[in-house]
């Protein structure tokens, strides 16, 4: 590493011959040098041998000068080329700062402040979501009175994107869920010789609870994130504002097609999920317990009440509304930074899955208490 200065100390004066490249690649050695401690009373910097200097070099010198002056050393510079002199004075005028950043202190009482602020943030988020959901409902009612305003093409597009294109993943997950319940059930039921009860087990669990849940979770992962990201990017590129200024409501153009698409798609997907999950159960029942398909279906018709399937199908559009509203709502929260796209897309999925599970639990308790 090159040496950037040579100290020449005499009792009354310290002459510092600067040399080499005073640039950002090298000046760190100047800043940390212990030699500055030896400089007393008077320092004369000779710049005539400096090869080049950049802003880092200029600032480093200014910093050393300041340190020395604080200690009562008078500082002079000699032999400095005009350009460097100018550079130093440029750096000097721009390096004075009035703002001092003080790290915030954090104590016991500040904890309450944070708690209060967070509570308020949560409360406001809740209110704004309620008002968003209200806005969507209002827009829905309004368009129902003027059916020609319904965006059929956009709705069909989202039906395809969120419904049709989700079929493969829905089929695979539902089949696996059916297989897994039946498999675990088969081991236990075989111990009691109650093999045939596999039909009720798979039939009721899948249609009433598991198929709607699994479908909702898959759709939340696929579509809530997609909705949030699509709307968010539209917001960043000012598309949403352009719509508003042209008198197209974001509700009718962006939110309703997505909500309606999921409301329509979800029951259909759940119905498919029911069928596939039961088929998965049938496969295991035949393979592990020796129950033929015909036996399984006979028993299914006898023992699995229609209400279980209906309950599953009734929950589906509600899950659809939850997922679409949360996806869109989080999308509209995305602001001008690209980072917020990632943030709110993630939040939309987490929120959608949470609320689907929470509503499912609510239904479960409510319906069981009502004896349905």
The encoded tokens of residue 322 equal 């939850």
Closer residue to other proteins, CB minimum distance, 27 or 182 = 27
Strands, E assignment, the chain: 5-9, 14-22, 42-53, 74-78
Q: Closest approach of Cβ 32 to other proteins, in Å?
A: 7
Integer angstrom CA distances of residue 283 from 108, 125, 181, 186, 199: 61, 47, 12, 12, 11
Closer residue to other proteins, CB minimum distance, 28 or 119 = 28
Q: Closest approach of Cβ 81 to other proteins, in Å?
A: 12
Q: Closest approach of Cβ 95 to other proteins, in Å?
A: 5
Separation of CA 6 from chain center: 55
Q: Closest approach of Cβ 338 to other proteins, in Å?
A: 5
Residues that bind other proteins (CB under 8 A): 23-25, 27-28, 31-32, 54-56, 59-60, 63, 83, 86-87, 90-91, 94-95, 97-99, 101, 335-340
Residues near 179 by Cβ (< 8 Å), separated by ≥ 6?
280, 281, 283, 284
DSSP state of 370: T
Q: SS3 for 358?
A: helix
Q: Closest approach of Cβ 253 to other proteins, in Å?
A: 25
Q: What is the DSSP string of 296-329?
A: HHHHHHHHS-HHHHHHHHHHHHHHHHHHHHHHHH
Q: SS3 for 47?
A: strand
Closer residue to other proteins, CB minimum distance, 56 or 80 = 56
Match 């249609």 to its residue by tokens.
207
Taking a C-beta distance cutoff of 8 angstroms, is the pair 22, 61 a contact? Answer: yes
Q: Closest approach of Cβ 322 to other proteins, in Å?
A: 29
Match 């709705």 to its residue by tokens.
155
Closer residue to other proteins, CB minimum distance, 83 or 149 = 83
Q: Closest approach of Cβ 189 to other proteins, in Å?
A: 54
- C-alpha 229/C-alpha 161 separation (Å) is 14
Q: Closest approach of Cβ 51 to other proteins, in Å?
A: 13
Torsion (CA) 82, 85, 90, 95 in degrees, nearest 10: 170
- C-alpha 282/C-alpha 295 separation (Å) is 10
Closer residue to other proteins, CB minimum distance, 28 or 131 = 28
Closer residue to other proteins, CB minimum distance, 42 or 63 = 63
Closer residue to other proteins, CB minimum distance, 31 or 194 = 31
Taking a C-beta distance cutoff of 8 angstroms, is the pair 268, 169 a contact? Answer: no
Q: Closest approach of Cβ 244 to other proteins, in Å?
A: 20
Closer residue to other proteins, CB minimum distance, 91 or 270 = 91
Closer residue to other proteins, CB minimum distance, 85 or 298 = 85
């Amino acid at each position: 590493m090159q040496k950037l200065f040579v100290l020449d100390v005499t009792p009354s004066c310290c002459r510092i011959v600067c040399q080499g490249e005073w640039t950002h690649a090298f000046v760190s050695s100047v800043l940390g040098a212990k030699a500055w401690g030896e400089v007393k009373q008077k320092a004369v910097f000779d710049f005539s041998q400096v090869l080049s200097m950049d802003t880092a070099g200029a600032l480093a010198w200014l910093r050393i000068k300041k340190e020395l002056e604080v200690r009562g050393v008078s500082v002079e510079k000699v032999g400095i080329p005009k350009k460097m002199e100018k550079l130093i004075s440029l750096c000097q005028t721009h390096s004075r700062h009035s703002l001092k950043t003080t790290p915030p202190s954090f104590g016991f009482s500040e904890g309450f402040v944070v708690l209060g602020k967070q509570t308020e943030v949560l409360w406001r988020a809740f209110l704004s979501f309620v008002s968003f959901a209200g806005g969507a409902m209002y827009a829905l009612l309004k368009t129902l009175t003027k059916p020609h305003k319904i965006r059929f093409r956009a709705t069909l597009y989202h039906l395809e994107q969120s419904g049709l294109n989700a079929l493969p993943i829905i089929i695979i997950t539902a089949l696996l869920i059916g297989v897994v319940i039946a498999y675990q059930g088969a081991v236990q039921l075989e111990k009691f010789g109650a093999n045939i009860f596999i039909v009720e087990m798979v039939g009721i669990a899948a249609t009433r609870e598991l198929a709607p849940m699994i479908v909702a979770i898959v759709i939340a992962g696929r579509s809530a994130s997609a909705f949030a990201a699509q709307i968010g990017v539209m917001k960043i590129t000012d598309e949403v504002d352009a719509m508003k200024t042209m008198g197209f409501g974001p509700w009718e153009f962006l939110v309703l097609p997505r909500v309606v698409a999921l409301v329509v798609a979800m029951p259909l997907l759940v119905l498919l999920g029911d069928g596939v999950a039961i088929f998965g159960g049938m496969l295991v029942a035949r393979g592990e317990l020796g129950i033929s398909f015909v036996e399984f279906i006979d028993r299914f018709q006898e023992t699995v009440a229609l209400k279980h399937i209906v309950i599953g199908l009734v929950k589906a559009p509600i899950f659809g509304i939850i997922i679409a509203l949360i996806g869109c709502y989080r999308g509209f929260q995305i602001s001008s930074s690209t980072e917020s796209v990632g943030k709110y897309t993630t939040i939309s999925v987490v929120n959608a899955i949470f609320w689907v599970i929470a509503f499912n639990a609510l239904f479960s308790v409510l319906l069981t208490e009502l004896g349905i």
